[in-house]
């Protein structure tokens, strides 16, 4: 590569979070006129390195150079002023204000006329910024809550692009986007490349990266493993670099035997949910079945998971736990009946982030580890350690706070809560969301394993591939009602299902 095009260089960059090493002497080079993909498992250090570049946090040691000059931004604002724009995976907007205000957050002064900030000028400029990225259909004067999550991401993109960055960092943003949103982002990235600017693209989706990127850098456990140019892209090779071992072919379930026992364990009868997203919905779930639930966003599938677990109020109908004959009243009741629930919103619903791995895992199993009224620390530790081992959760100690774990490891902790309880029925809402290939494979194996033990799994997912790969039976929801049902089959294609979803 032409070294004239070098725009960012890190030398021996290190970052520690307590005892955890997030970056280990990384030498990364980013060039103009290129889309550089960063790939690696969760916790490999991809987001850490970009957040240091953007000024979100300082490095522990090492040097950075931006356009040949030493680079050490102390805040994101400073980073942005220098020309590094970043779209993060997490929520990057402020609620309760308009889209225009979000786009020009902190720069309101630009629209000052005689000491008063001109709202109309701001909206006009914001609309231009939105149009510029091809989002003509979003009205800049609306409140941010009026548009859906996907469009909010696009607003963030508009904000970043409005400041004309020389380097654009897109961190895991596309997982939250539909095809339309993705193509908008891809267009922007390509435009940046054509304007001889640089793009860093972080994603889990290998196919996506292979399609979009000109170059790919693989990170693993904080180390820079390899640096590949487009001709060298080869999925299995990259996966091997990411995981550090051969993945083999086995990923999803291998068998295509979709038959399950006739024994019904859950009977959802004519349910309308409190939020109105599920309307007169009925289904039966069988013992030992992996029931896949799919659909577009707002089709009611996430609500279905909550309804079954007793977490969402139902207006009509009932959910019956057939073996006991009891109607499920609330989550506590559901858990007593041997059910478990992995929420889609891991950080806000499934985990107490500020609590330790130990507190989180034991919280669901307190009735499994007690001696009479007492809970002895040794027994608790043994219980937690067993889950940590079973799921190979990467951590320095079980007393480590969950918030410092990577997404995949967080999800493993959530699984640990329910696996420790030995649940008979497990409801998984987007279990592999934001989780990398290695952890995904492990989870699929785990789900398969549970099925073999006769446990029932309801798997709600936005990824059709994993639904097709894992489910015995697949229900597709549309507008709160059942739109289609598919039996497990080698012939089942995404195309058929998408037809049904739309």
For residues 268-297, which are near other proteins according to CB under 8 A? none
The residue range among 99-107, 129-137, 347-355, 479-487 that interacts with other proteins, by the rule CB under 8 A, is 347-355
Told to check if 10 binds other proteins by CB under 8 A, we report no
Q: Can you tell me which of 6, 21, 56, 117 binds other proteins, judged by CB under 8 A?
A: 56
Q: Is there a contact between 122 and 111 (Cβ–Cβ < 8 Å)?
A: yes
CA–CA distance, 172 with 205 (Å, rounded to integer): 9
In this complex, which beta carbon is closest to other proteins, that of residue 309 or of residue 486?
A: 309
Told to check if 249 binds other proteins by CB under 8 A, we report no
CA–CA distance, 159 with 130 (Å, rounded to integer): 8
In this structure, the number of other CB atoms found within 10 A of the CB of residue 399 comes to 12
Told to check if 332 binds other proteins by CB under 8 A, we report yes
Told to check if 331 binds other proteins by CB under 8 A, we report yes
CA–CA distance, 352 with 354 (Å, rounded to integer): 6
DSSP 257: -
Q: What's the number of CA atoms in the CB half-sphere (13 Å) around residue 153? A: 20
Q: Can you tell me which of 364, 457, 483, 497 binds other proteins, judged by CB under 8 A?
A: 364
Q: Is there a contact between 16 and 44 (Cβ–Cβ < 8 Å)?
A: no
**Which residues make beta-bridge pairs with 167?**
84, 198
For residues 462-481, which are near other proteins according to CB under 8 A? none
The residue range among 12-20, 109-117, 231-239, 455-463 that interacts with other proteins, by the rule CB under 8 A, is 12-20
In this complex, which beta carbon is closest to other proteins, that of residue 196 or of residue 367?
A: 367
Q: How far is the CB of 162 from other proteins (least distance, A)?
A: 22
Q: Is there a contact between 34 and 70 (Cβ–Cβ < 8 Å)?
A: no
Q: Can you tell me which of 407, 416, 420, 480 binds other proteins, judged by CB under 8 A?
A: 407
Q: Strands 473-478, 290-295: parallel, antiparallel or unpaired by DSSP?
A: parallel
Q: Can you tell me which of 6, 14, 17, 118 binds other proteins, judged by CB under 8 A?
A: 17
Q: How far is the CB of 344 from other proteins (least distance, A)?
A: 11
Torsion sign across C-alpha atoms 328, 330, 336, 338:
positive
Distances (CA, A) of 84 to 15, 88, 104, 381, 418: 20, 13, 16, 45, 42
Q: Can you tell me which of 107, 208, 227, 349 binds other proteins, judged by CB under 8 A?
A: 349
CA–CA distance, 187 with 199 (Å, rounded to integer): 12
The residue range among 103-111, 182-190, 210-218, 350-358 that interacts with other proteins, by the rule CB under 8 A, is 350-358
Told to check if 176 binds other proteins by CB under 8 A, we report no
Q: How far is the CB of 367 from other proteins (least distance, A)?
A: 8
Told to check if 356 binds other proteins by CB under 8 A, we report yes
State both tokens at 119. 């709202």
List residues near other proteins by CB under 8 A: 17-19, 42-43, 47-48, 50-51, 56-57, 88, 90, 309, 311, 331-332, 334-336, 341, 343, 348-356, 359-360, 362-364, 366-367, 370, 373-377, 401, 403-407, 417
């Amino acid at each position: 590569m032409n070294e004239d095009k070098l725009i960012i260089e890190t030398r021996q960059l290190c970052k520690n979070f307590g005892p955890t090493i997030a970056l280990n002497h990384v030498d990364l080079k980013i060039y103009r006129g290129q889309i550089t993909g960063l790939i690696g498992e969760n916790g490999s250090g991809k987001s850490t390195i970009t957040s240091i570049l953007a000024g979100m946090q300082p490095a522990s040691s090492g040097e950075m150079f931006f356009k040949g000059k030493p680079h050490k931004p102390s805040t994101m604002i400073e980073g942005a002023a220098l020309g590094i724009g970043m779209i993060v995976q997490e929520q990057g907007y402020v609620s309760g204000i308009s889209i225009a205000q979000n786009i020009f957050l902190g720069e309101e002064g630009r629209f000052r006329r005689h000491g008063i900030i001109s709202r109309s000028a701001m909206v006009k400029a914001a609309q231009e910024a939105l149009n510029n990225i091809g989002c003509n259909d979003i009205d800049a004067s609306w409140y941010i809550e009026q548009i859906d999550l996907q469009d909010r991401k696009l607003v963030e993109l508009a904000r970043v692009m409005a400041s004309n960055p020389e380097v654009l960092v897109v961190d895991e943003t596309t997982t939250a986007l539909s095809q339309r949103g993705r193509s908008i982002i891809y267009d922007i990235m390509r435009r940046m490349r054509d304007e001889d600017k640089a793009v860093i693209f972080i994603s889990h989706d290998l196919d996506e990266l292979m399609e979009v990127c000109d170059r790919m850098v693989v990170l693993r456990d904080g180390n820079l493993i390899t640096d590949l140019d487009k001709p060298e892209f080869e999925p299995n090779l990259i996966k091997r670099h990411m995981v550090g071992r051969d993945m083999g072919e086995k990923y999803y379930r291998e068998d295509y035997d979709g038959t399950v026992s006739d024994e019904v364990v859950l009977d959802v009868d004519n349910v309308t949910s409190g939020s109105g997203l599920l309307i007169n919905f009925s289904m039966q779930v069988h013992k030992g079945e992996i029931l896949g639930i799919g659909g577009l966003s707002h089709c009611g599938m996430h609500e279905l998971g909550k309804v079954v677990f007793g977490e969402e109020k139902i207006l009509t109908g009932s959910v019956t736990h057939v073996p006991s004959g009891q109607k499920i009243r609330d989550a506590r009741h559901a858990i007593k009946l041997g059910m478990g629930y992995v929420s889609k919103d891991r950080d806000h619903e499934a985990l107490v982030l500020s609590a330790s791995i130990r507190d989180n895992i034991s919280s669901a199993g307190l009735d499994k580890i007690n001696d009479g009224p007492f809970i002895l620390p040794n027994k608790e530790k043994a219980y937690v350690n067993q889950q940590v081992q079973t799921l190979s959760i990467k951590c320095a100690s079980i007393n480590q706070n969950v918030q410092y774990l990577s997404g995949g490891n967080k999800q493993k902790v959530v699984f640990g809560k329910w696996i420790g309880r030995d649940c008979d029925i497990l409801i998984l809402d987007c279990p592999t969301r934001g989780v990398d290939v290695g952890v995904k494979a492990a989870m699929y194996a785990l789900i398969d394993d549970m099925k073999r033990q006769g446990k029932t799994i309801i798997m709600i997912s936005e990824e059709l591939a994993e639904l097709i790969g894992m489910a015995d039976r697949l229900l597709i929801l549309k507008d709160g009602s059942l739109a289609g049902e598919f039996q497990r089959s080698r012939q089942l294609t995404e195309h058929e299902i998408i037809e049904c979803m739309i």
